[in-house]
Structure 1
Amino acid sequence: MSKNPYYDNTKPTPNLLSKHSIGTAFLYGCAAGLIGVGAMTFSQKIEQAFTGRPNSYVPGHTLEKLLGMPYRPDSERLGLQHAMHWGQGALVGGLRGVMSAYGIVGFVVDFLFTGVRILTDQSLENYAQVGAPPWTWPFNEQVIDVIHKGVYAFTTGYVVDRWLH
């Protein structure tokens, strides 16, 4: 029998079981996600100081629609705004925690996780009929969103990878 050059079955397969439970990994990820949201918010405030871009209240209105609440002005939705902004970041961070616990770690994963964060935002916003698909936005807004979601993803990934490994 000839040996397959692409697969060496003499090496043991890596242990796919984590030393952390899924629940523990998820909670670590949630905490890292909150740190990631903090970093993302900080980067947004710095960017807004230079560009003059106003705050977006889309997260608050998304949660408003998802909960079946009647529309209210932005100024009356600050609690929902913060709940969605921080809550979604924590929950998506939980996924990154589970990924980390099972060996899906590092820079490339953080890059891919940026897409997960964008997809989560867009899925909820478009399901709630509050947002518009990103490809309909002006190019500069697309770039700004990807940069800020990248700050979230890389911060969250770095923190949870350090905590769990």
Structure 2
Amino acid sequence: MPAAITSANTVRRGRRSVLAGAAARGLLGGLAGAAAMTASQRLERAVTGRPASHVPGRTLLLLAGRSPSEGDRPGAATLTMVVATSAALGAVRGVWRASGLLRVRADVAQTVLRIIVDQTLENATGAGAPPRTWRQGEGVVEVLHAAVAAVATGAVVERLVEPVLESRRGTTSH
């Protein structure tokens, strides 16, 4: 899109409107990320024999004021938490894209943010344990699944959101 058209559209619609639209379209990318992450987890578990984690579901139940036991396996809550987190991160990803954070840098940032969000919620509620206490290799698997979600989210967001708010101010001095 030519810069003059982009600038005119941005001014006419306003930054808030552009960001809200980018976030809304980013939600769609987040749903694609949730689907990709769920599929990669199922494939990985079929290969490794690792059991499914129900920590996200227990986290959601704790956030909702319930008291799940360690043995609870809330499948629907787990899926809901994965989808909700992915959708929220997709909205962030849409805003990043509109603002000019693109491709691989955005994939890396989203992967890290996913791990941070998951770990913060899981540890703050007491549903999960810090990564330093996990069995060897668990952290690598979690990062890989978060990366799958980030790349899938990005693939959709890069098609739906233009970087119309990308600025060139501050590129020569701070």
**Structure 2 match to 1:107:** 104
Alignment partner of 1:39 is 2:36: yes
Tell me if the contact between 1:29 and 1:160 (Cα under 8 Å) persists in the aligned partners: yes
Which structure 1 segments of 5+ residues have no match?
1-14
Structure 1 residue identity aligned to 2:18:
S
Deviations 1:73-117 (A, max 9, x none): 534x22222211111111111111110011111112211221011
Residue identity matched to 1:70? S
Q: 1:123 aligns with which of 117, 120, 124?
A: 120
Gaps of 5+ in 2: 1-6, 163-174
Q: Which residue number corresponds to residue 159 of structure 1? A: 156
Do structure 1's residue 141 and structure 2's residue 162 form an aligned pair? no
Partner of residue 81, structure 2: 84
Structure 1 residue 138, shift from structure 2 partner:
2.0
SS of structure 2 residue aligned to 1:74:
coil
Task: Tell me how far apart the structure 2 counterparts of residues 135 and 87 of structure 1 sit (CA, whole Å).
Answer: 26
Which residue among 71, 84, 90 is the counterpart of 1:93? 90
Q: What is the Cα-based RMSD across aligned positions, in Å? A: 2.0
Residue identity over aligned pairs, in percent, reads 40
Aligned to 2:72: 74
Calculate the TM-score normalised by the size of structure 2: 0.79
Alpha-carbon distance in 1 for matches of 2:160, 2:116: 25
Task: Tell me the equivalent position of 1:62.
Answer: 59
